[in-house]
Amino acid sequence: MIYIVEDLINGILMGSIYGLTALGLTIIFGVLKVINFAHGSLLMVGMYVAYWAVSLSGLHPYLTLLLVVPVMYLFGYYLQDIVIKPIFKAERDVREPITVIIVTTGVWYILDNLTLLIFGPQYRSIQDNPLRGKMLEIGEMMISVPKLWGFFAAIITAGSVYWFLQKTRTGRAIRATSLDRDAASLMGIKQYRVYNIAFGIGTATAGIAGVTLVPFYNVFPTVGVLFDIKGFIIVVLGGLGSIGGAILGGIIIGVIESVGPQFMTATWTEAIVYGLFLLVLFAKPSGLFGVKYEW
Amino acid sequence: MTRQKLQISSLVLVGIITFGLPVVLRSPTYLHILILLYLYAYLTTSWNLVGGFAGVLPLGHAAFVGIGAYTSTILYLQYGISPWLGMIVGGVLAAIVGIIIGLPTFKMRGAYFALATIAFGEGIRVMVENIDYLGPFNLNGPRGLQIPPLNVGLTNLMFTNKEPYYYIILVMLVAVLALTYSISRSKLGYYLNAGGEEPEAAMSLGVNVARCKLIAMAMSSFLTALAGTFYAQFTLFIHPKSVISLDLSFEIAFIALIGGRGSIAGPVLGALLLRPVGDFSRIYFGATLPGLHLIIFGTVLVLVMIFQPRGLQEPLTRVYHKLLDRLIPVPAGTE
């Protein structure tokens, strides 16, 4: 019994980190109405930036947030500005442009393989890691400390993005654009600047997820693919465009993955996740929690 | 010489060259590359029936390749049934699966459809990786299946040299191109086009868009599965990561998109441009610059989508027509 509780807690912690990795996906979809297939690669880039920042400076891993967040924000901002914006301009009247999906897939291939070319296929992990293997003992339960921090990071990040969208002027402009981009443009909101900002924020959250993963996860060029597919599943489960839904969807996946092996071979849990995903897509495409657009 | 005569004679010339190539080209390496090129052109043309004509973005076609490859291989290994027959069985099975998947997914909009097909493809892969015995059939899980090259010959679709494979896949490619051509000129082709571009308008004119898409999906998955059997017999070794991989699904879509989806020449053009780039950069730079060909793929894809969203076939067709006009001017008054 205690094992199931332990698995449940670890599943919730890891799941919230999954949710954090998928947060940017849902933010970008909410505004641009585009599924960013390159999101996993952006996460991978964030992990590499964090890895090198820690390795070269010897700082505490979490201190690299100060570097990773602005770097990733600018990266996302200009990625959208230079690569994706031209497509939007060409397909102005299409509500969910399929071409953009294809372009982001191209960006995914470029980023992953450029990383492979530059840094090689090695699995890297931080040396002198103050968090490696750190466990919190509660009774007989062992809880991973870096995952616990990851949980807090997910909650805080989701909360602050939500607060930002609700309370600030820019946030209101983003919400207006996501609801009706033509009407928002008529109100004097610069549509493409909002897209850039939303893409930047989405990429920055991928950077935060990267920083929380680096202390206990290996860094390698295709690490993003693992989170990419998982991210798609999470955001659809939670409802595309919903911030809280992304975290909850992540927790569902995390719990299935950690509690499932108690009842079946571990690799089968993956099949269950895909099955659940297809079921939700067919039966309730707006997501499990029925939130169409939260903001 | 009239314009039509010129076009026919250039087609005949292309035919002679492609059929005569193995006589001149003795290197097995180059033949191997060409066989894979035709295979990808074939796969992409089959994909194009759904991805191009029906106007959606399926990203799970590797699942059908897998169904074809596994069905014929299991039938051959366990029951000694000729892969030619297994090919048909696999195709029919894939068509049924395609319809089952198409029924719910065709209702979805762009991105959701792409995601659903990814999940479908990956789901099939995970299942095959986890199942050793599906009833009486031995899938052998993640280790895959190996075909012992014992009874070589046409009946078993197994050869010791590459030439027969070359001709088989070439004939398959020509057949699928002819099929696509006739579909694009048929009622179904026009319905599909209309349904892909303006579904509401097409429906209001009485076109059963959903039914047309299902027919296209059934044909596409059937044809894709045939290529799966061919691949299994060509490499004599299949495993989930090779025939049902996400990379394969994406590469098929990439080739179509870069060449120009929805056109007949597009997939062939895409394969003709991208496959050699991939193969040669792997041969010459595989050790020093890993992943270079995928960087090239990605870059070409992004550039084509930005500057030629309808694919490379469009500007090339324009050049071709200009060339035709230059060679044989249209007589005044006939247009």
> What is the secondary structure of B245-285 as a DSSP string?
-HHHHHHHHHHHHHH-TTSSHHHHHHHHHHHHHHHHHHHHH
Query: What is the pLDDT at residue A295?
Result: 44
A48 vs A282, higher pLDDT: A48
Q: Which of A99, A109, A271 sits opposite B297 (nearest CB)?
A: A109
Neighbours of B181 (CB within 10 A): 12
Query: What is the pLDDT at residue B1?
Result: 60
DSSP state of B162: S
Smallest CA–CA distance, residue A282 to chain B, in Å, is 6
pTM: 0.88
pLDDT of A257 > 90? The answer is no
> Which residues in chain B have Cβ-Cβ distances shorter than 8 Å to A117?
289-292, 295
Give yes or no for a contact between B65 and B225, defined as CB atoms under 8 angstroms apart.
yes
Residues of A numbered 13-72 whose beta carbons fall under 8 angstroms of chain B's beta carbons: which are they?
A: 29, 34-35
- Which residues are registered as beta bridge partners of A135? A144
Residue in chain B nearest A278 by alpha carbon: B116
pLDDT of A117 > 70? The answer is yes
> Which residues in chain A have Cβ-Cβ distances shorter than 8 Å to B254?
105
Q: Looking at A72-76, A135-139, A201-205, A243-247, which range is the least confident one?
A: A135-139
Calpha distance A214→A220 (Å, rounded): 11
Mutating which of B106, B295, B296, B310 best tests the A interface, going by the most A Cβ atoms within 10 A?
Answer: B295
Query: What is the pLDDT at residue B23?
Result: 82
Residues in chain B whose Cβ is within 8 Å of chain A: 57, 104-105, 108-112, 114-116, 118-120, 122-123, 126-127, 129-130, 246, 250, 253-254, 257, 289-292, 294-295, 297-299, 301-302, 305-306, 309
> Which residues in chain B have Cβ-Cβ distances shorter than 8 Å to A106?
297-299, 301-302, 305
Give yes or no for a contact between A102 and A34, defined as CB atoms under 8 angstroms apart.
no
Smallest CA–CA distance, residue A133 to chain B, in Å, is 30
Smallest CA–CA distance, residue A103 to chain B, in Å, is 5
Contact assignment for B118 to A113 by CB distance below 8 Å: no
Calpha distance A19→A248 (Å, rounded): 7
CA dihedral sign, ordered B312, B313, B318, B320: positive
pLDDT of B67 > 90? The answer is yes
Label residue B330 by pLDDT band (50, 70, 90).
low
Query: What is the pLDDT at residue A274?
Result: 86
Determine the average pLDDT of the residues in B269-279. 87
CA-CA distances (angstroms) from residue B307 to A189, B149, B258, B314, B332? 27, 48, 11, 11, 34
> Which residues in chain A have Cβ-Cβ distances shorter than 8 Å to B305?
87, 99, 102-103, 106
Determine the average pLDDT of the residues in A97-103. 81
pLDDT of B335 > 50? The answer is no
Q: Which of A101, A112, A271 sits opposite B123 (nearest CB)?
A: A271
Contact assignment for B291 to A117 by CB distance below 8 Å: yes
Smallest CA–CA distance, residue B307 to chain A, in Å, is 9
B224 vs A243, higher pLDDT: B224
A126 vs B255, higher pLDDT: B255
Query: What is the pLDDT at residue B17?
Result: 87
Which domains, from first to last, does chain B contain? 3-327 (1.10.3470)
Interval B207-242: pLDDT, tens = 888 888 899 999 999 999 999 999 999 999 998 888
> Which residues in chain A have Cβ-Cβ distances shorter than 8 Å to B118?
229, 232
Smallest CA–CA distance, residue B186 to chain A, in Å, is 26
Q: Which of B114, B123, B305 sits opposite A106 (nearest CB)?
A: B305
Judging by DSSP bridges, how do beta strands B145-146 and B137-138 pair with one another? unpaired
Determine the average pLDDT of the residues in B251-256. 90
Query: What is the pLDDT at residue A95?
Result: 54
Judged by a CB distance cut-off of 8 A, whether residue A96 touches chain B is yes
Calpha distance B99→B222 (Å, rounded): 10
Calpha distance A271→B332 (Å, rounded): 65
State the angle between helix axes of A223-238 and A2-32 in degrees (0 to 180), rounded to the nearest 10. 80
Residue in chain A nearest B296 by alpha carbon: A110
Contact assignment for B302 to A107 by CB distance below 8 Å: yes
Give me chain A's average pLDDT, please.
85
Label residue B292 by pLDDT band (50, 70, 90).
confident
pLDDT of A217 > 60? The answer is yes
Please report, for chain B, how many H helices and E strands are present, in that order: 14, 4
Helix (H) or strand (E) holding B138: strand B137-138
Give yes or no for a contact between A7 and A259, defined as CB atoms under 8 angstroms apart.
yes
Determine the average pLDDT of the residues in A247-263. 87
Contact assignment for B126 to A275 by CB distance below 8 Å: no
pLDDT of A211 > 80? The answer is yes
Contact assignment for B292 to A117 by CB distance below 8 Å: yes
pLDDT of A159 > 70? The answer is yes
> Which residues in chain A have Cβ-Cβ distances shorter than 8 Å to B103?
none
Helix (H) or strand (E) holding B99: helix B83-105
Query: What is the pLDDT at residue A208?
Result: 94
> Which residues in chain A have Cβ-Cβ distances shorter than 8 Å to B281?
none
